[in-house]
Amino acid sequence: MIHPFTSFVDHLWHLKKRAKIKKGAFVAKNLRLQGCDMSQKFMKFMVLLMISLLLISSLLAGAAAFL
């Protein structure tokens, strides 16, 4: 039996892959239409979080390569 949460995540992943460009344009348009500060702050926070995670992981990979 497949775990429901895993299948749900898979479903979301397929949807995301299929509608990536559309969704990006849609989200950008929505943000412009709403002018919602909270969502923009949240998006910026998420982007910063992703970038910092990537930097940390790459630093760890570099350290592991040197060791």
Mean pLDDT score, 34-63? 80
Cα gap 53→60, rounded to integer Å = 10
pLDDT at 10: 72
Tokens standing for residue 45: 């926070």
Q: Is 60 exceeded by the pLDDT of residue 66?
A: yes
| DSSP code at position 52 | H
Cα gap 46→53, rounded to integer Å = 10
pTM attached to this predicted model: 0.38
Cβ atoms 39, 31 nearer than 8 A: yes
Q: What is the pLDDT of residues 22-46, one digit of tens each?
A: 656 666 665 555 555 566 677 788 8
Tokens standing for residue 2: 């497949």
